[in-house]
Structure 1
Amino acid sequence: MVQKAKILLVDDRPENLLALEAILSALDQTLVRASSGEEALKALLTDDFAVILLDVQMPGMDGFETAAHIKRRERTRDIPIIFLTAINHGPHHTFRGYAAGAVDYISKPFDPWVLRAKVSVFVDLYTKNCQLKEQAALLRLQLEAGEQQAIGGALLGELSARLASVEEQAEALTKQLAGSTEAGAAVTAAHLERKLASLRQALDALRPGAN
């Protein structure tokens, strides 16, 4: 059974957290609340998350500062961050969000369907990433245990085929994003490409004769 992904929701207003939970409940994943930047950083110390929805305007540590801390930590630097904001100070404010490491920047009020679709992309990528890592670890154990090369080769071929399928889906998504007028589309596509390239590199390293 595939373990549910965790999604971190960060907002100082309880009503906003409740609204996000209502929007994302259809994804059937684990939603974790944080009412401040400090609380979010604490949650990130112990749990792994597929994506973070982070409010920009919060008292104390705001969203930009929280994101900076997240990106400085090796454990959390690759977690996608989607900024949510009720204020709009123009392109400069948006670019500041991307500079802080966000993959998207959404102004409130937003379309619930659009937000759910964006989050779903990163949940799917996270889930497939976890599955591939588990199977790669199993393959390593089999090879280290001295099992037949044919078994290792068959499993490696299955992993490669699954990753190829994910790469095809990501390529189709990237083409869709390329035609988007949203400022965050290119950033999202680039993030997906980096993740998949890293997975492919790790899988290729398992092949016989790889250095």
Structure 2
Amino acid sequence: MPSDTRILIVDDHEDTLYALESALAPLGYRLGRATSGDEALKEVLRGQVGLLLLDVRMPGVSGLEVVRYMRRVEQTQHIPVILLTGFGPDQELTTAAFGLGVADLVMKPVDPWALRTKVRYLYDAHQHHLALEQEVRRLRAQLREHTETAARPERPALAHTETAAHPQRPALPHPDVRVPPQRPSGAHAGELEKDHT
């Protein structure tokens, strides 16, 4: 489990934040807090949030609006969200929440044991999913590197060691082949002719 990944608790009431933090403390996970929808979005976009515990009704940006925005952004669309509501069962809210992919809708007052069980399961499942994605990316990178290496043309090996060691050395004639003497050229040739006359 990545130690730098937090559970973000979002509620506009200080006493509720404290109660939720106390309920989740025994799990040993890192906890963060936000008191508004705007603040929650900023925290989520900064990264390292593994689960969101989010109050539905808050001044300004509501819990559902936070989830709608998260689902449109690639880096946040798979973060599990538990919505909290203190207004009893609401069919319209339930339909909207699960339509946005909310993991669970929990009524206040919250049962600490039940909440810990849900949070542990969702948080650990999400971390496992992230670890698998990272492993898949690593394997794909290895496969791509292997494919590119295999596709590179090999350099042709030099057939003769002597030629490879001395590429500029001229080939020597065969001993049975007669090589005619070369006539000197230029000024030296004229001097030699005078000597013979």
Q: Is 1:68–1:101's contact at 8 Å kept on the other side of the alignment?
A: no
SS of 1:50's equivalent? strand
More deviation, 64-73/127-136: 127-136
1:29 alignment partner AA: Y
Segments ≥4 residues shifted beyond 3 Å: 133-146
* Mapped partners of 1:138, 1:68: distance in 2: 31
**1:3 is the counterpart of 2:2:** yes
Q: Distance in 2 between matches of 1:138 and 1:100?
A: 30
Q: Secondary structure at the match of 1:41?
A: helix
Structure with the largest fraction of helix: 1
- In the superposition, the TM-score normalised over structure 1's length comes to 0.62
Q: Deviations over 1:94-117 (max 9, x none)?
A: 223223431211110121111111
- Structure 2 match to 1:13: 13
Root-mean-square deviation over aligned CA pairs: 2.1
Shift of 1:86: 0.9
2:47 paired with 1:22 = no
Q: Could you say which residue in structure 1 is the equivalent of 2:105?
A: 105
Number of residue equivalences: 146
Identity %: 39
Paired residue for 2:55?
55
1:143–1:100 Cα change, 3 Å: closer
| Structure 2 match to 1:163 | none
Question: What TM-score comes out, normalization by structure 2 length?
Answer: 0.66
Cα deviation, residue 145, structure 1: 5.2
- How far apart are residue 90 of structure 1 and its match? 3.1
Q: Aligned letter for 2:124?
A: D
Structure 1 unaligned blocks of 5 or more:
147-211
Give the secondary structure class of the aligned counterpart of 2:66.
helix
Single out whichever of 98-107 and 78-87 deviates more from structure 2. 98-107
Matched-pair contact (CA < 8 Å) for 1:12–1:36: yes
Mapping 1:49-128, distance limit 5 Å: 49-88=49-88, 90-128=90-128
Displacement of 1:34 after TM fit?
Answer: 0.9
